Structure 1
């Protein structure tokens, strides 16, 4: 995934992340971003959510680890692909590999708590090439973003602990390509 694909995910610095149906409905009708990260749902509600997103011409990025009733295995990923899911976020690289086989956009989520987590994350990304990496927390230091970008060549997204427009600006200034957040008041920020 190049920075061009980041443009497919957002038209500004923020990708909205919906934690519930109200957030999802709001993002469909009040947010300009071409995509929405889905942080809730189950195998029964997912088809209707995907239908609504298609009608609104929005790409749904499913957080694979958070969909209830979905096996966290090859069959679960294939189910998503057959259901029309085009993009996922996961913390599990083996699921990301399966999703890549299914021609899905894959965002690998990494928790960067310290330098060892950064080293481990870089090793993981060298054995599996997702389309992008999302780091948490979104307040990750610039040195970590530079190192991830230099070593992997991947666009770096960030999420978690982003509360204000200043937090978004700081992250973008640190080399982050886009922020994911569930804070509605940040969803329509412009670059």
Structure 2
């Protein structure tokens, strides 16, 4: 197994995701408890606040997990670069997720892993994606919803960073379809998917 006890590089993250392509997404304390008791190695933290995110991250790290925080969902934080700096200097976070280009750039500058989240709702958002990825230069991108194998196939040719399929990944067929289309991993808050 890959040693993941310290901050990782994007290459080590990709290696880890090849070993374990299911990312557990924690949307509340109960789901986090289940993740910490599971064999899942990578956690996308989709909840927390200015009051407790440092403690939540510390719990994840104590359980040996790689933890990436969705900055856009943190309660009480503004979506400004200083939040990334605070996380990088005051916690053991491995990286961040965000739909905002400035936060992805700030994460890279702070030496954190950066996963740029994209909500693909129409052809306009799809066609904007390669340009935005070129600006933000993330370690990976997360495509939401993740149950779109055809779109994942198209994107595999349009962007040169690893793809993670997230959102509405509900069962083994969704996981296999996303991985078969070229996603390096899937992110899901569905406990049945974590157990695969």
TM-score (norm 1): 0.91
1:133 aligns with 2:141: yes
Corresponding residue for 2:22?
Answer: 14
The residue aligned with 2:97 is: 89
Q: Deviations over 1:29-67 (max 9, x none)?
A: 1x2122211111101111211221121111111011001
Structural mapping, 1:134-149, within 5 Å: 134-142=142-150, 144-149=151-156
Tell me, in whole angstroms, the C-alpha distance in 1 between the residues paired with 2:16 and 2:149: 26
Call closer, same or farther: CA 1:126–1:147 in 2, change over 3 Å: farther
Aligned position for 2:75: 68
Is 1:18–1:182's contact at 8 Å kept on the other side of the alignment?
yes
1:162 to 143, 160, 169: 169
TM-score by length of 2: 0.88
Equivalences, count: 187
Cα offset for 1:3?
6.2
Please list every run of at least 4 consecutive aligned residues from structure 1 whose deviation after the TM superposition is greater than 4 angstroms. Answer: 1-4
Partner of 2:86 in structure 1?
Answer: 79
The residue number in structure 1 matching 2:41 is 34
The alignment partner of 1:40 has SS state of: coil
Structure 2 Cα separation of the partners of residues 125 and 95 of structure 1: 13
Higher relative contact order, structure no. (Cα contacts within 8 Å, ≥ 6 residues apart)? 1
Work out the CA distance in 2 between the residues paired with 1:161 and 1:137: 6
Q: Deviations over 1:47-89 (max 9, x none)?
A: 2112211211111110110011112112111111112222111
1:107 corresponds to 2:115: yes
